[in-house]
Amino acid sequence: MKTIPVLFSLLALAGVIARAAPADRPNVVIIYADDLGWGDLGCYGNPVIRTPNLDRMAAEGMRFTDFYSAAEVCTPSRAALLTGRYPLRNGMCHDQFRVLRNNSAGGLPRDEVTLPELLKGRGYSTGIVGKWHLGHLPEHLPAHHGFDAYFGMPYSNDMMPAPDAPKGRPKFYEENNAYWRTPLIRGTEIVEAQPDQRLLTRRYTEEAVKFIREKKAAPFFLYVAHSFPHVPLFASERFRGKSAAGVYGDVIEELDWSVGEILATLRTEGLDRKTLVVFSSDNGPWLIFNHHGGSAGPLREGKGSTWEGGMRVPGLAWWPGKIPAGSVQREIATTMDLFTTCAKLAGATVPADRTIDGLDISPLLFNTGPVARDAFFYYRGATLYAARLGHWKAHYITRSAYGPDQPVKHEPPQLYHLGEDVSERIDRAKENPAVLARINEAVARHRADLKPAPSQLIETVARAN
């Protein structure tokens, strides 16, 4: 009687090996826009900006209505994407210094495990094209975090204005490319001190297409982190002056073209049925830049805020033959989930020695069942401001995204029902004490498990990159 179980075990083991064989490990492409709002794409209801390629991606794949970045600004959002963890766990956030600057000493800690590191362990080629913003000093660059290849900017495209650039906020409206000196890096070397930002999206796209063509034999992980629509805004000649939405629209329409090029390359190379492509944004639209900022659609506020507009972002997933075409997914999902989900798809094991906040959302992607999610937590810097459980969202603290006002604590918290009131207009705390109690319990569970790491965003160095 013993033979059969052993045989079954051997078959099961063989099954595991077969599942882990190269043919079963999908390529993964994550395309991450910078400061793109929930309402900026046609498939999310934008009335002006033309995004036929992203709309087609949605029609051929899955569009998430409730997809979240794990942070309200750039650096922590990217740290969470690559580690599957709330930024407070790895020190990549701070209440005052909200992102890394061009004189920051810090970066993503080496002992953090990134998605490309996990995938490299499963035989993946790994590449990043575009904005890194997890530490610009040589010791923090992508090469030290699992990426074989890197071409792009170390931080935001506005972080090295030229000395003669006009000061103050209106400078961002000045579309003079000569004012901006964020460098381009290849591998670990600065290859251009003052790249022409009008060509950025095009060059990132060419680099991404080249990576796919060169790495197609093995499974690959490609992270395309666009520098736009972060201000200052630039588009190439083909797109400049073409959108009724002005330069912001030009820039989004070029990003849309870029997505089209990448998907077309996957089709041409016969990789479309072997590749999961996810499109999202690092946070909401930067509303202080008026018509140089995007739109959160019906959502309240934008980048920098823990209102929905600050952290709920576009989320598209595409994998022909696996993800049901034309599906709209209304369950909550987050950028952190991509870490866990992609690791599982590649047959990698997520680290067991630390808390991973991301969940495996394959059941949502493949429409095979629900995902057991507790609450989602909205941090502003290192402070928890709000929490969502099901359709209910409690705001413990509110504050305008970038104003001089101080945080306002709410007791009881403000409570909004995001199903009936997606714009967060009607505080219903008084009538729903039991809901608040459940959210409070979820926050307590979260905090019991939370060991904040020292912030990497404080220390500076004399040398800018």
Give the whole-angstrom CA distance, residue 113 versus residue 125: 17
Q: Are strands 125-130 and 408-417 parallel, antiparallel or unpaired?
A: unpaired
The site for a copy of itself (CB under 8 A) is made up of: 39, 42, 44-48, 65-66, 243-246, 248-249, 290-291, 295-298, 328, 330, 391, 417-423, 425-426
By beta-carbon proximity to a copy of itself, the closer residue of 47 and 370 is: 47
**Cα 43–chain centre separation:** 18
H or E element that contains 392: strand 392-398
By beta-carbon proximity to a copy of itself, the closer residue of 145 and 292 is: 292
Count of CA atoms in the C-beta half-sphere (13 A) of 281 = 33
Q: In what order do the strands lie in the sheet with 408-417?
A: 376-380, 383-389, 392-398, 408-417
Residue 238, CA distances (Å) to 50, 286, 357 in order: 14, 25, 42
Q: In the bound complex, what is the minimum distance in angstroms from residue 366's beta carbon to a copy of itself?
A: 20
Q: Which amino acid is at 249?
A: G
Give the whole-angstrom CA distance, residue 265 versus residue 263: 5
Q: Are strands 376-380 and 383-389 parallel, antiparallel or unpaired?
A: antiparallel
- Pick the catalytic residue from 133, 140, 145, 226: 133
Q: Are strands 392-398 and 408-417 parallel, antiparallel or unpaired?
A: antiparallel
- The DSSP secondary-structure symbol of 108 reads S
Annotated active-site residue 133? The verdict is yes
Task: Give me the helices (H) in 100-154, please.
Answer: 115-120
By beta-carbon proximity to a copy of itself, the closer residue of 103 and 423 is: 423
By beta-carbon proximity to a copy of itself, the closer residue of 66 and 254 is: 66
Q: In the bound complex, what is the minimum distance in angstroms from residue 253's beta carbon to a copy of itself?
A: 12
Reported in sequence order, the residue ranges of 104-251 that DSSP labels E, i.e. its strands, are: 125-130, 149-152, 184-186, 189-192, 220-225
Q: In the bound complex, what is the minimum distance in angstroms from residue 430's beta carbon to a copy of itself?
A: 14
By beta-carbon proximity to a copy of itself, the closer residue of 261 and 331 is: 331
Instruction: Please check whether residue 216 is in contact with residue 210, taking contact to mean a CB–CB distance below 8 angstroms.
Output: no
Q: In the bound complex, what is the minimum distance in angstroms from residue 242's beta carbon to a copy of itself?
A: 12
Q: In the bound complex, what is the minimum distance in angstroms from residue 320's beta carbon to a copy of itself?
A: 18
Q: In the bound complex, what is the minimum distance in angstroms from residue 335's beta carbon to a copy of itself?
A: 17
Active site residues: 74, 133
